[in-house]
Chain A
Amino acid sequence: MERRWNLQKIIWFAMIILSIFIVVFPIYIMFKYSISDRSSWITGGRYPVPWWPFKPTFEMYKYYLSDTRFWGNGFLSIKIALLTVALSMFFGAPAAYSLARYKFNGKAVLLFLILSIRLIPDISSVIPVATVFNFAFLYNLPVTLKVALAHTLLGLPYVIYIAQGVFETIPVDLEEQAHIMGAGKLYTFIRIILPVALPGLAAGAIYVFLLSWNEFVFSYFITATSSVDVLPLPVYLKSLFGAFTPNPVSIATLSLLVSLPVIVFTFIIQKYMVAGTTAGAVK
């Protein structure tokens, strides 16, 4: 690498700094608000909101972390996300395996079907989905299951894409070897393929977990149409906006608490995030 600083390099460096700033600035603002004391956000118009709080405080974090409602909502979000992961893995992983391994008539149709889920706007499909869940015999299903079933639909295309990629990297030799030695297809899938695919599948699972954790539209409509007190975190956060006097510290703190697990996981599975977000776009 050259160590010379020419104009081109200076521009490049400045742009990098600028993009990092654009990305980090809103997150910083959130953090700043979350540790603000009262005088740092209620200014009465006499002075502008400071860029760093006068007296930083973690009061709001303490409040939320000891609030049973927050934990209740948090656990609901976790339960929904875990159930979503379980369901989408159960439905998606075996299908992905067959899509990766076998050539059969109509495979292209199936792949198109998966892709076309993303063509339908959430806001359009949520109406029939919510309607169906309001039918008498489905109305009493637990909210966790209803939301998870909806989220599974969103997660399924990603699970299938990611898992298909993972299975394709496993040499067919392994299966043939097991086959010659007398193992059946199911046995081979469970005892040979799944254990080998586990790390990649785990990343897919985390991706779907985050998808469910972040999802708003389906969570909002389904919880809104079934009378419940406990809300998934994004919906809970949204309910704070509508309060009589929205408290920015409260919003900011809850926002960061919701984002934190996502940020941590994203760094861990960055490689697979790339696979998930570009699924179907580059081949």
Chain B
Amino acid sequence: MNTALKKEDKWNKFKEGLKKNSFLIWTLLPGFLYIIAFFVIVAFFLLKLSLTSYNGGMTQESLTIANYLKLIESEEFRTAFVRTFIFVLITTPLQLVTGLIGAILINKKFKFRGVVRSILLLPLAIPTIVTTATLLLLFSKGGHITSLLMGEYPWFPKITQHEISFLNKESLALGISILGKVWRDTPISMLILLAGLQSISEEQYEAAKTMGSTTIQNFFYITLPLLVPSISSVLVLRSIEAWKEFIFPYILAPSYPVLGVLIEKYYVQMFDPGTASAIGVILIIVILIGTTVLNWILKKMQSYLVKI
């Protein structure tokens, strides 16, 4: 009797809480149910598919880790993993450098600053698939770049005798993917770093100047240390994006797949959603580990910088 009463009491309290916070609940619920449903679907089906073996169109009923075992032994997977890692290792710092240059250039006050900034943001606006199309045209056989390197334009020196087929050589094809990725995403790092730069007041530089600091010293002793948080977030966000990359290597280097492209290959071309999902799961885990490690390294480096 007593416990029943208590239960009812609790229930009433709960109902009262619901009523009091009904606005909060009704505003938050739809959006977050949507997001949570997504996570549940991804987690459940991705795991389930990755644990299902597809053999010549036949599916096995029982769950198995055969897909994972197959992948670990597969040369193709290991190569793709290394490729992805190299892709991350190159694009991430490269985007930091290009973004930093852009941000420093724009951080000055000048007459057409707004227009120039808009122009430098353009790569972000152009659909990725269009960017890949442009690179295809530029680097394809008989395109501008090959003609240029072969000295067919009178104003440019001849660099190579034979036509280079950019898209059929692993290092070049991946290089072009990296080029495309950096070209497209530099504005993002530029904006993050620009926000960081703008939080440093002119007076700090002027104060340093009165103490005899040169422009270059200013950059290393004031700008860089104060920019560390922005730099960290650029590195973390950009490395996540680099791990996730699909479109550029998919269009420009389909014969030399990174992990993302490999997923597509298994899923669409080889009708093997099991293996595709297994790669997907591995990719998510790799991103989580990679991001955690990077965060850890950045924290260590930050505390090291502060000590100096």
Q: Do A and B come from one complex?
A: yes
Name A residues whose Cβ lies closer than 8 Å to a Cβ of B. 1, 8, 12, 15-16, 19-20, 22-24, 26-27, 29-30, 33, 43, 45, 47-49, 51, 90-92, 94-95, 97-99, 102, 104, 110, 113-114, 117-125, 127-129, 131-132, 152-153, 156, 160, 185-186, 210, 213-214, 216-217, 221, 224, 234, 237-238, 241, 246, 248, 251-252, 255-256, 258-259, 262-263, 265-267, 270, 273-274, 277-278, 281-282
The answer to whether A270 touches B121, judged by C-beta atoms less than 8 angstroms apart, is yes
In the assembled complex, how far is the CB of residue A146 from the closest CB belonging to chain B, in whole angstroms?
13
In the assembled complex, how far is the CB of residue B159 from the closest CB belonging to chain A, in whole angstroms?
14
In the assembled complex, how far is the CB of residue A5 from the closest CB belonging to chain B, in whole angstroms?
13
Q: Give the residues in chain B near A30, CB-CB below 8 Å.
A: 130, 133-134, 137
Q: Which residues 224-272 of B have a CB within 8 angstroms of A?
A: 230, 233-234, 237, 240, 243-244, 246-247, 251, 260, 263-264, 267-268
The answer to whether A152 touches B44, judged by C-beta atoms less than 8 angstroms apart, is no
Cα A262 to Cα B135 with chains together (Å): 19
Binds A, one of B24-32, B74-82, B203-211: B24-32
Q: Which of B26, B42, B116, B130 contacts A120 (CB 8 A)?
A: B42
Interface size class of B (residues with CB under 8 A): 35 or more
Binds A, one of B4-12, B60-68, B100-108: B100-108
Can you name 7 A-B pairs with beta carbons within 8 Å? Answer: A15-B101, A19-B105, A128-B46, A210-B125, A216-B129, A237-B129, A277-B191
Chain A contact surface mostly? helix
In the assembled complex, how far is the CB of residue A150 from the closest CB belonging to chain B, in whole angstroms?
9
The answer to whether B24 touches A104, judged by C-beta atoms less than 8 angstroms apart, is yes
Q: Known: A95-B30, A282-B196. Contact between A127 and B291, CB under 8 A?
A: no
Q: Give the residues in chain A near B38, CB-CB below 8 Å.
A: 117, 125, 129, 153
Instruction: Tell whether B57 is near chain A: CB-to-CB under 8 Å.
Output: no
Q: Give the residues in chain B near A213, CB-CB below 8 Å.
A: 127
What residue in chain A is nearest B47 (Cβ atoms)? A128
In the assembled complex, how far is the CB of residue A227 from the closest CB belonging to chain B, in whole angstroms?
14
Among A29, A186, A265, A281, max chain B CB count under 10 A is at A281
Instruction: Tell whether B71 is near chain A: CB-to-CB under 8 Å.
Output: no
Cα A263 to Cα B127 with chains together (Å): 10
Q: Which of B46, B124, B280, B287 contacts A119 (CB 8 A)?
A: B287
Q: Known: A15-B101, A30-B134. Contact between A123 and B195, CB under 8 A?
A: no
In the assembled complex, how far is the CB of residue B264 from the closest CB belonging to chain A, in whole angstroms?
7
The answer to whether A91 touches B101, judged by C-beta atoms less than 8 angstroms apart, is no
The answer to whether B125 touches A121, judged by C-beta atoms less than 8 angstroms apart, is no
Cα A265 to Cα B191 with chains together (Å): 18
The answer to whether B192 touches A153, judged by C-beta atoms less than 8 angstroms apart, is no
What residue in chain B is nearest A28 (Cβ atoms)? B134
Cα A256 to Cα B124 with chains together (Å): 14
Name B residues whose Cβ lies closer than 8 Å to a Cβ of A. 21, 23-24, 26-28, 30-32, 34-36, 38-39, 41-42, 44-46, 49, 101-102, 105, 108-109, 116-131, 133-138, 142-144, 147-148, 152-153, 183, 187-188, 191-192, 195-196, 215, 230, 233-234, 237, 240, 243-244, 246-247, 251, 260, 263-264, 267-268, 273, 276-277, 280-281, 283-284, 287-288, 291
The answer to whether A47 touches B152, judged by C-beta atoms less than 8 angstroms apart, is yes
The answer to whether B244 touches A122, judged by C-beta atoms less than 8 angstroms apart, is yes
Q: Known: A1-B109, A270-B121, A282-B230. Contact between A119 and B240, CB under 8 A?
A: yes
Q: Give the residues in chain A near B244, CB-CB below 8 Å.
A: 121-123
Q: Give the residues in chain B near A99, CB-CB below 8 Å.
A: 28
Q: Known: A22-B183, A26-B183. Contact between A129 and B26, CB under 8 A?
A: no
The answer to whether A97 touches B27, judged by C-beta atoms less than 8 angstroms apart, is yes
Q: Known: A94-B26, A124-B283. Contact between A266 and B34, CB under 8 A?
A: no
Cα A90 to Cα B135 with chains together (Å): 38
What residue in chain B is nearest A121 (Cβ atoms)? B244
Q: Give the residues in chain B near A127, CB-CB below 8 Å.
A: 45-46, 49, 263, 267, 273, 276-277, 280
Q: Give the residues in chain A near B153, CB-CB below 8 Å.
A: 48
What residue in chain A is nearest B114 (Cβ atoms)? A270
The answer to whether A241 touches B31, judged by C-beta atoms less than 8 angstroms apart, is no
Q: Which of B137, B251, B264 contacts A252 (CB 8 A)?
A: B137
In the assembled complex, how far is the CB of residue A105 from the closest CB belonging to chain B, in whole angstroms?
11
The answer to whether A113 touches B125, judged by C-beta atoms less than 8 angstroms apart, is no
In the assembled complex, how far is the CB of residue B207 from the closest CB belonging to chain A, in whole angstroms?
20
Q: Give the residues in chain A near B130, CB-CB below 8 Å.
A: 30, 234, 237, 255-256, 258-259
Q: Which of A132, A216, A266 contacts B125 (CB 8 A)?
A: A266
Q: Give the residues in chain B near A90, CB-CB below 8 Å.
A: 30
The answer to whether B27 touches A24, judged by C-beta atoms less than 8 angstroms apart, is no
What residue in chain A is nearest B129 (Cβ atoms)? A234
What residue in chain A is nearest B215 (Cβ atoms)? A8
Q: Which of A217, A252, A278 contacts B191 (CB 8 A)?
A: A278
